[in-house]
Structure 1
Amino acid sequence: MAGRLRQPTGRYGGRTAEERQAERRRRFLDAGLRLFGAGPGYRATTVAALSEAAGLSTRQFYEEFRGLEDVLAALHLQVNDWAEEAALAALAEARDLPLAERATALFRAYAANVTGDPRRIRITFVEIIGVSARLEEQRLARRARWVDFICGEAAAAVARGEAEPRDHRLAATAFIGSVNGLLHDWNAGWVDATLDEVVEELVRQLLSILRPFDGGTVGPATP
């Protein structure tokens, strides 16, 4: 009886079919991080080269992905997830600290996570650009999520009397562009500064957005 081949569902080598599939996917993504993030880059990589780097076959590749764009899309989301998790963990530990110390903890954790592996910066700030309308939509959606993150922290600071009560969305959008550009340029060697100095500059920019010009505290926002 003709029909589509099904993936095996039993255990093999002590692992389930789902575990083996997850392992294959991880190996393809790891290979994508190496080839897209360090060289030769997304546009110069083939399915055959990626499969060889993963130690798997092209048949197995197409069981997991429709094409290389799916790998790049998954890596872009993964890199952003890692950075967001690092920022949230730092923020949870610094929740009771003053605004400047919270912001410093947040950006130190974010910057350390993103720049700790230069391949992550290349994936999220370079390789993703201009690939397709689909990936551009994903990139902008993820940037909007970071804007929401900053706006949420701004609202919390307003409620605590630490920030000026206003709509921070426009300023947060501009600020995210500064974060991305500065970290990219620092990683590329175009900025003569330490990572701590980069973080300090980002914190100064954020505080200038959130605080009144006199640097003092403000009262809680009115309903």
Structure 2
Amino acid sequence: MKDTASKSPGAGGRRRGYRGLSAEELRKQRYQRLIAAGTELFGERGYAATPIEAVCSHAKVSTRHFYEQFEGRESILHAVHAELVTHMEEIVRTSLTESRTPLTQRVADTIEAAVFFLLDDPRRGRILCIEAVGVSETMEKKRRQTTHELAEIIRRYATLMAESGMLPSRDYHLPSVALVGMFNELIAEWLTEDTGLTAMEMAREAKIMFRAMIFGAQHYEPTDSSADHDPLDPPDESVS
């Protein structure tokens, strides 16, 4: 009598499907193909000009399988956006934790790495800084959350710089939010206008603005300061 138990479906492992892959493995493959297609099409054609059918066709995934994973077109935009943000945050954290490099240089290197990530493949920058803007209230909340997450990374390192004496002690939340906003607008400008600059030159512009903020911050008063005089105001020449 033959022992067929080990050959029965599910015995000793999961049921195998197409090309020997399990249903879960096939689902993951379809998900990654859809994300790749969404990144390519949203970044090239634009979100508004890309119907679900185009994403499915490009990914070679049926619409039935699409709706098994996403509620609709905006749902996949959220997923594409989240994946790009995750990659960028990994780049930011890796650059900022390079302990052999002085802190101020680490931040400058981080800005450069982030610019290269978004401009070496302009589709990434277009999705994060242009296509995801104004889509819906839900998407805007996600964008604000991303801004605050990136700003919080910057704020923590500004605090470290303050603790080491390179910056005055204050709350750096708002300057950090402003730095993220500046960065987004520089990327959008490069993508939509003829700046005549390379990605390397745009990275240099972003670093110059970062350094300008840092040098300017050396004159900051504490956020809750009640001082009447702003150290950046011109001197009162009427006083002899």
Q: TM-score, normalised by structure 2?
A: 0.79
Pair 1:25-2:25 in alignment: no
Shift of 1:208: 3.3
Residues 63 and 124 (structure 1), Cα distance of their counterparts in 2 relative to 1, 3 Å cut: same
Residues 174 and 194 (structure 1), Cα distance of their counterparts in 2 relative to 1, 3 Å cut: same
Residues 164 and 205 (structure 1), Cα distance of their counterparts in 2 relative to 1, 3 Å cut: farther
Q: Deviations over 1:125-158 (max 9, x none)?
A: 1111111111111111111111111101111111
Aligned partner of residue 62 in structure 1, secondary structure: helix
Separation (CA, whole Å) in 2 of partners of 1:202 and 1:138: 24
Q: Pick one of 8, 13, 21 that aligns with 1:15.
A: 21
Residues 107 and 26 (structure 1), Cα distance of their counterparts in 2 relative to 1, 3 Å cut: same
Shift of 1:214: 6.8
Task: Let me know the Cα RMSD of the aligned residues.
Answer: 1.9
Residues 194 and 31 (structure 1), Cα distance of their counterparts in 2 relative to 1, 3 Å cut: closer
Separation (CA, whole Å) in 1 of partners of 2:165 and 2:205: 23
CA contact (8 A) 2:168 2:218 kept: no
Separation (CA, whole Å) in 2 of partners of 1:83 and 1:23: 23
Determine what percentage of the aligned residue pairs are the same residue: 31
Name the structure 2 match of 1:194: 198
Structure 2 counterpart of 1:72, one-letter code: L
Name the structure 1 match of 2:134: 130
Between 66-75 and 83-92, report the one with greater CA deviation. 83-92
Name the structure 1 match of 2:66: 61
Between 184-193 and 83-92, report the one with greater CA deviation. 184-193
Separation (CA, whole Å) in 2 of partners of 1:212 and 1:137: 31
Q: TM-score, normalised by structure 1?
A: 0.84
Pair 1:176-2:165 in alignment: no
Q: Pick one of 172, 189, 193 that aligns with 1:185.
A: 189
5+ unaligned residues in a row in structure 1: which ranges?
A: 1-8, 216-223
Equivalenced residue count is 205
Name the structure 1 match of 2:229: none
Higher relative contact order (Cα pairs below 8 Å, separated by 6+ residues): 1
Separation (CA, whole Å) in 1 of partners of 2:217 and 2:62: 60
Residues 96 and 155 (structure 1), Cα distance of their counterparts in 2 relative to 1, 3 Å cut: farther
Name the structure 1 match of 2:7: none
CA contact (8 A) 2:129 2:187 kept: no
Question: What pairs with 1:33-52 in structure 2 (closer than 5 Å)?
Answer: 33-39=39-45, 41-52=46-57
Structure 2 counterpart of 1:16, one-letter code: S
Structure 2 counterpart of 1:127, one-letter code: E
Separation (CA, whole Å) in 2 of partners of 1:193 and 1:85: 26
Structure 2 counterpart of 1:75, one-letter code: V
Shift of 1:81: 1.1
Name the structure 2 match of 1:221: none
Q: Which of structures 1 and 2 has the bigger CA Rg? A: 2
Between 163-172 and 68-77, report the one with greater CA deviation. 163-172
Question: What pairs with 1:65-84 in structure 2 (closer than 5 Å)?
Answer: 65-84=70-89
CA contact (8 A) 2:167 2:218 kept: no
